[in-house]
Amino acid sequence: MKLRTGLLLGAVFAAGVLAGPTSAIMAERFGFHLLPVAWAQDTGHSETYRLLTLFGDVFDRVRAEYVEPVNDKDVIENAINGMLTGLDPHSNYMNAKTFRDMQVQTRGEFGGLGIEVTQDNGFIKVITPIDDTPASRAGVKSGDLILALDGQSVQGLSLNDAVDRMRGPPNSKIKLTIKRQGVDNPLDLSLTREVIRIQVVKSHMEGNDIGYIRLTSFNEQTDSGLRKAFAQIKAEAGDHLHGIVLDLRNNPGGLLDQAVAVGDDFINEGEIVSTRARHPEDSQRWDAKGGDITNNLPVVVLINGGSASASEIVAGALQDHRRAILVGTRSFGKGSVQTVIPLPGNGAMRLTTARYYTPSGRSIQGLGIVPDVEVHETRTEQPHFGPEREADLKGALRNTGGVPATDAPPPRTDLPPMARDVPKLPPENWPAYDATKTDTDFQLQQALAVVRAMPVGKRAAR
C-alpha cells in the first residue's frame, strides 16, 4: 500500500512540474525529475493535464505578483497540504519538523524535563510535573508559571515553541525562571534533561477487589504498559481481584497495532479488527493469538464522545465478542485508518487508506460505538466549541461497507440484572468532579457497580 501510494504521488508531481511555465524553477529548487511533456499527454487524461497546467500558472503568478515575496517551499507545501486536507479531516502533509514531533508522540519518549504545561496569559503554566522526572525532583509544582527559559522570556512564544525549547538531548542543562503563588520573588531552577516516557497507562485499585486501568492514548508504550499495570494489580489484589475497569474515555486513539495488541490481551480467539482498502489485496484482518491476560475476569470498558479510533477498535472488539460490558456514552465515530508515508526531504504524508470494521462487520465511521449501559458524566449537557463527533467534521467519510443494521449482533442477554437499573444521570446533589477523588466520577462509580455484579470465572454468553 505504501509503495503504490508513493508511486502515484510521484507521478502526479512529475506531471505537474512539466505543466506550468515555472517547471524549470521547480525542478531546480525541489529536485523533481522532468519527464517529456508527451508522457502526460499520452495518458489520455487531458483534463488532469489541463488542471496541472493551471496549478503551474497559479504558482507562477503568486511568485511574481503577490504583495510580498513568497517562499517557494512554503507555497508548495501549502498546496500539498491543501490537496490532502481536502480529501477528508484526517489526511494531511507534515513537514520535517511536524513529522519529527509526530514520531516523538508515537514513540512516547523524548529528551526533556517531565512537565505537562499549557499557556496562560502569555506565560507557560505547569499543569503537573510527572513523577520521578527532573521537574518533580527540582521541586516544580502544579500552578507554577514559567517566565523564562535560560534567561529568555517566554512571552511571545507559542506553546509549541516553548515546549521545543524545554525538550533537548538527555544530560543537557536548562534554567527555568518560575513565579509561584505565595512567593514574592521569581525562582530560578536548574534542571538536567533526561529521557522522559509519556505516561499513557495509569492504574490503581478500587477497594480491594477491582483494578482500574486508564489508557490515555495508543503509542508504542501502551500494550507493554497495560500488561505491567495488570501484573501490579494482580500482585496487589491476589485472590481478591474480582474484575477490571478499562477506562478509554477521552482517548483519541493512535497506533493500530497497539489497538490490536490491547484487544488481544482480553480475547482468546477470533477476529479483533479488519480493514478494507480501495484495493482488495490491501485489506487485512487481525485475529487474537490466544491468552487472555486476566484469565476471563469480568471487564467493564468506559467510553465517551472523546473515545476515538484505536479506542473504538478495542471497545468494538470486546463488545462484539461479549468479552466486556461497555459503560458510558456513544464514542466519537472515527472508523478510518491513516497510513504515514515518508516523503523525500524528511517530511511525510498522512493518508486515509482504509476503513476498519469490528469483528461483527460493523463500520463505526460517523456512528461510533454505542455503550451497553448508557451513563452520562453530568446532569447538564456540556458546551462544545467545535465538532462533537466525527460526522460533524467537514468532509468526513461516509459510513459504507459495513453490515446492515438488520444484520448487527442481537441485543445482549448477558448483562447482569442490575444493569437495567443503572441511572443514566447523576443525582442532583452529586458532588462536582474532582480528578483526585474517584468517588466524584459518576461514570466510574456506575462502572464499578456493574463489574462487581458480573459473575467471576464464566465467559460471557455469545
Active site residues: 309, 320, 334
Measure the CA–CA gap between 166 and 111, rounded to whole angstroms: 9
Distances (CA, A) of 252 to 194, 216, 333, 359, 362: 27, 8, 11, 21, 20
Q: Nearest-CA neighbor of 207 among 454, 455, 453, 445?
A: 445
Measure the CA–CA gap between 251 and 253, rounded to whole angstroms: 6
Measure the CA–CA gap between 257 and 106, rounded to whole angstroms: 12
Measure the CA–CA gap between 336 and 355, rounded to whole angstroms: 4
Radius of gyration of the chain (CA): 26
Q: Which long-range contacts (CB under 8 A, 24 or more apart) does 167-175 make?
A: 167/110, 167/111, 167/112, 167/113, 167/193, 168/111, 168/112, 168/193, 169/111, 169/193, 170/111, 170/194, 170/195, 172/111, 174/113, 174/149, 174/150, 175/149, 175/150, 175/151
Contacts of 210 (CB under 8 A, 6+ apart): 241, 242, 243, 244, 245, 448, 451, 452
Phi/psi of residue 274, nearest 5 degrees:
-130, 155
| DSSP letter assigned to residue 460 | P
Helix H or strand E segment including 27: helix 23-30
Cβ proximity of 286 and 274 under 8 Å: yes
User: Cell digits for 189?
Assistant: 531552577
Distances (CA, A) of 346 to 98, 99, 353, 420: 10, 8, 21, 54
User: What does 334-376 look like in DSSP terms, one character per residue?
Assistant: --EEEEEEE-TTS-EEEEEEEEEE-TT----TTT-PPPSEE--
